Structure 1
Amino acid sequence: MSTSTGTTASSTGTTASVSTHILDTSVGRPAEGVAVGLSARAGREADWRALGGSATDADGRCKDLPALPEGTTHVRLDFAVEPYLEKTAKKQADAQQDAPANRDSGPGVFFPEVAITFAVVPGEHYHVPLLLNPFGYSVYRGS
């Protein structure tokens, strides 16, 4: 696996590129301040290599994810959603003082992390949005 850095897929066409954003469907707004980690591997049996990460901005977007190394075949996005969902649940509970903050006596956050793994091919761009709510999530290949 190549360890070159500083070259993006858009300038060389030899690697894939990745972007993401998060929409909180429970409030119909972007999810700001969620940490997102990016890992890659070259082949199904290869070890994952952490490349770095970012956090979502006010529009729910990560605009500065690291470039993928040449030879990348699989990518993993790790979303640390627990702090965001805890903060959002508290805000909603404060706004509706008579409504319970949790549906049951279990943990306050059902999905503390979301890990999305997908295959890539060189030269392609992959935009992978996360639609998030306290008790579910969905992802898709966007444009």
Structure 2
Amino acid sequence: MAINLEVSPILGKQKSKFSAFCKYCKITWKRGEISKLEKHLSNHCKNASATIVRKYMSKILERQDKVTKKRKLSSGQQYMDNYHDSTDLFDARITRINRALIKFFVSCGISFRIVEHPFFINFIKELNGGYDPPTREMLARTGTSISE
């Protein structure tokens, strides 16, 4: 198994059930389902390295993308555009959003690298599908010129 968890069969009457425990924090599960174990490594394990957390966050996001691509719209189902603003934004609006983003990152001590994280990109797209977050390099260049 590629997951960094120990998985072993449960002894007893029930067949094809597995117990599991995390190699990093030693949490155990009576029933070790792969998706639950991946969620643990991506969100809850405090001892997993940043590389492991990122790896399993990406796996979860990829799986979510595959599921949504397979779903078909039924005739009565609403479109996402009915609920989310996905129109193109004016340059002045993008500049104001970027400036607010820089102020937030700097005042809270958050690394500009976060703008490249899949969960952050997903969050921004949920807020407004028409906004493309800037690169971390662009944020760093612009951040040095903001004197407000």
TM class by shorter chain equals: under 0.3
Flag the structure with higher strand content: 1
TM-score by length of structure 2 reads 0.21
Give the helix-richer structure, 1 or 2: 2
Structure with more relative contact order (C-alpha pairs < 8 Å, separation 6 or more): 1
Whichever of the two has the greater Rg, that structure is 2
